[in-house]
Amino acid sequence: MTVSELNLAVDEAIRRDPRLQDVTVRGEVSGFKHHIASGHWYFSLKDTESAVNCVMFRQNTLTSGLRPKDGDSVIVTGYVKLYSRTGACQLYATGMRSAGIGDLYQRYEELKRKLNAEGLFDQRLKRPLPLVPGKVAIVTSRSGAALHDILNVSGARNPAIPIILIPAAVQGTGAAEEIARGISMANRYTDADVIIVARGGGSAEDLWCFNEEIVARAVAESRIPVVSGVGHEIDVSICDLAADVRAATPSNAAEIVFPDRKELAERIHLVRMGLRHAENNRLRDAERKTVEIRARLSNVSPDKQINRLAHLAGLNRERLMNAINRIIENRISTLKNDRNRLGKAAVHRFEREKARTALCREHLKALNPLGVLERGYTLVYTADGRMVKTASEAVLETRMQISFADGRVPVTRKEGAT
């Protein structure tokens, strides 16, 4: 039997089972995709243990009153058929209605609310990444596409940065514990500056290990900044919310962590140019300030101060001499004027006193008792010079003097003369 014959036999067996030609299935939507060109919907229905691929053709999506999204719990009606190209058994949905929130989605929301209330998603606790990490630890599958993408990007951008791989399962039972253990090992046994937790795209079930509480707490407790690059851009896991930086994909995580050498070189060039420009500006400012300080120092230098004071002293000396000369000239002029006035006053006073003296002389001459002597009169004085005014006084004197106009003659009175 060929593969085609085998698939045909299985398909015929399915067709012969009436239960599979009109089936109603309840499950949670996962991996929903809307094919724009055809209008068909592709998704999976899952429960806690199993999943089945589903397709809903355009003619049925147009009449559906529900547009599902991942995590929705729905009730799908349709039929089962084998897709012979891949040998996959698919549920071809002809109708769909809501059945509430899916179990996994509800668990996701409950854990998200719990951890958010504890502050694990607080943006204030997010740590910045180093511009150029010295070493990067990667927690992912050794054989996964995520590691291949990260190595390609890091090799193209900056292959000089060392990488430490900490292998961990990223899907299935025990994967969450391995991821948490890998983050703990990176903190305990490496000197990495950044941890990348990564996995490629997949269904919600495949990515569920990154929604476990143990992974979120390991990320939050890491002393090393963590970058989460899990799934595709539309996938947001609990690990993404707890990480310091969320990347859309593993490749995007590598782009965030590993700086491009060309960009670094350009940035270094710009920084160098900026420093050079700043240095030139500072030198120009320093030169300008030096010139200003030199000018101020020159203005206050001892030699200049002495010269200025000497010049000022010379000016003051000249002004003082000029003032003294003016004062002397004023004093000389005043003295001349005073001398002239005094001379004139003295002459006037002399003439006035001369006239007064002449008048007084004439008056005194008129009143001078000696003046009568020139007219022949005489005056009699005692020997001691007392004037004798009466004869009775002359009787008492023996020696007397007679004063004529031209002199005195001594006389002696005889005894008995009266």
The stretch 396-410 carries a mean pLDDT of: 84
Whether the predicted pLDDT of 312 surpasses 90: no
Contacts of 229 (CB under 8 A, 6+ apart): 146, 150, 196, 197, 198, 199, 247, 248, 249, 250, 251, 252, 253, 254
Q: Domain for residue 365, yes or no?
A: no
- Do 248 and 120 lie in one domain? The reply is yes
111 and 183, same domain (yes or no): yes
Phi/psi for 411 (5° steps) reads -135, 160
pLDDT grade for 265, boundaries at 50, 70 and 90: confident
User: Where is the domain boundary, 259, 287, 314?
Assistant: 259
Question: Does one domain contain both 96 and 40?
Answer: yes
Average pLDDT, the chain: 87
CATH code assigned at 121: 3.40.50.261
CB 246 within 8 A of CB 272: no
Q: Is residue 58 part of a domain?
A: yes
Residue 283 forms part of a structural domain: no
Is the residue at 316 inside a domain?
no
Both 123 and 194 in one domain: the answer is: yes
* Other beta carbons less than 10 A from residue 326's beta carbon: 10
Residues 46, 175 within the same domain: no
* Domains of the chain: total: 3
Question: What are the helix (H) ranges across 120-237?
Answer: 145-157, 175-189, 213-221
Q: Cβ(43)–Cβ(67) under 8 Å?
A: no
pLDDT mean over 224-252: 90
Segments forming the whole domain that contains residue 253: 107-259
Q: Are residues 59 and 144 in the same domain?
A: no
Q: Quick one: average pLDDT of 177-190? A: 94
**146 closest CA partner among 250, 15, 233:** 250
Last residue of a domain, one of 68, 86, 101: 101
pLDDT digits (tens, 9 = 90+) for 363-387: 777 776 666 667 777 888 888 888 8
> Which amino acid makes up residue 39?
G
**310 in a domain, yes or no?**
no
Mean pLDDT, range 125-142, rounded to an integer: 94
Residues 97 and 235 in one domain: no
Last residue of a domain, one of 212, 234, 259: 259
Task: Tell me the pLDDT tens digit for each residue of 16-61.
Answer: 888 899 999 999 998 899 998 899 999 999 987 889 999 999 999 9
| Model confidence at 418: pLDDT above 60 | no
Is the pLDDT at 100 greater than 70? The verdict is no
- CATH number of the domain encompassing residue 33: 2.40.50.140
Say if 233 falls within a structural domain.
yes
269 domain residue, yes or no: no
Q: Let me know whether 44 and 141 are in one domain.
A: no
Same domain, 161 and 181: yes
| Distant-in-sequence, close-in-space partners of 114: CB < 8 Å, separation ≥ 6 | 213
Same domain, 241 and 113: yes
